């Protein structure tokens, strides 16, 4: 059976979903079964309307139980004040039962991001998310500088050693660039290889 990776996102204006689609392509290219989920929304329809949020992407809403069946997770996180949004935090805070039984220990996780500005906190978002992985015993897989676009200073390129990223502008008008999408796909592929290698080794024991 192919290893399974869940791509778990929160997205209000779809930038993260666009990256997730590329991450999924990369995972599938590495032979992994990859599915995109979104965490439950915590804001009311009224507030979402005031924020001019478009309808949610057509992907299933994740449940805590869904986490058990995956070998790894790639979290797509739009920065809020340099850290994860409350919607993702609420979901992760509901995983106490899995923590108590060690159900997620030894699984893998990676992260990818979006922020309004280049200096809006994609890396601090990674740092403040990693504590969840540490407490669960989940193995964090950074991207490193595995893609040459991360060295390109000729244009805005989101992302870092902690994962792919896009920079959206304050009004959300900037869409993920070709380079950012390529990095996202690359991250999916690299992450998929790590998970596949581990799962194959475990199955051979």
Ligand X SMILES: Cc1cc2nc3c(=O)[nH]c(=O)nc-3n(C[C@H](O)[C@H](O)[C@H](O)COP(=O)(O)O)c2cc1C
List contacts with ligand X (CB under 6 A). 11-16, 78-82, 114-117, 120-121, 168, 172
DSSP E strand stretches across 60-190: 72-78, 108-115, 139-140, 159-160, 163-167
| Closest CB to ligand X among residues 120, 159 | 120
Per-residue tokens: 151:
């060295």
Minimum distance, C-beta of residue 31 to ligand X, in the bound complex (Å): 28
Minimum distance, C-beta of residue 195 to ligand X, in the bound complex (Å): 24
Minimum distance, C-beta of residue 109 to ligand X, in the bound complex (Å): 19
φ/ψ of 197, rounded to 5, equals: -60, -45
Write the DSSP symbol of residue 141. -
| Closest CB to ligand X among residues 45, 69 | 45
| Closest CB to ligand X among residues 71, 123 | 123
Distance CA 202, CA 205 (A): 5
Q: Which residue is nearest to ligand X (CB)?
A: 120
Minimum distance, C-beta of residue 193 to ligand X, in the bound complex (Å): 26
Contact present, 5 and 25 (Cβ < 8 Å): no
Helices in 40-136 by DSSP H: which ranges?
45-50, 86-93, 96-101, 122-136
| Closest CB to ligand X among residues 3, 159 | 159
Minimum distance, C-beta of residue 58 to ligand X, in the bound complex (Å): 15
Side-chain-side CA neighbours of residue 43 (13 Å): 17
| Closest CB to ligand X among residues 20, 138 | 20
Please report, to the nearest 10 degrees, the dihedral formed by the alpha carbons of residues 145, 148, 152, 157 taken in order. -70
């Amino acid at each position: 059976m192919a290893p399974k990776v869940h791509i778990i996102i929160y997205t209000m204006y779809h930038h993260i979903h666009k990256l997730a689609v590329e991450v999924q392509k990369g995972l599938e290219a590495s032979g992994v079964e990859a599915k995109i989920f979104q965490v439950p929304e915590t804001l009311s329809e009224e507030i979402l309307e005031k924020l001019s949020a478009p309808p949610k992407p057509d992907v299933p809403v994740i449940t805590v139980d869904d986490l058990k069946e995956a070998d790894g997770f790639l979290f797509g996180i739009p920065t809020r004040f340099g850290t994860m949004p409350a919607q993702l935090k609420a979901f992760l805070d509901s995983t106490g039962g899995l923590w108590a039984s060690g159900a997620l220990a030894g699984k893998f996780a990676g992260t990818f991001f979006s922020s309004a500005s280049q200096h809006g906190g994609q890396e601090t978002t990674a740092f403040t998310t990693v504590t969840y992985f540490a407490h669960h015993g989940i193995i964090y897989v950074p991207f490193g500088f595995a893609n040459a676009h991360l060295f390109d200073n000729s244009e805005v390129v989101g992302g870092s050693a902690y994962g792919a990223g896009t920079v959206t502008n304050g009004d959300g008008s900037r869409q993920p660039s070709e380079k950012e999408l390529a990095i996202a796909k690359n991250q999916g592929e690299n992450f998929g290889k790590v998970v596949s290698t581990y799962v194959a080794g475990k199955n051979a024991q």
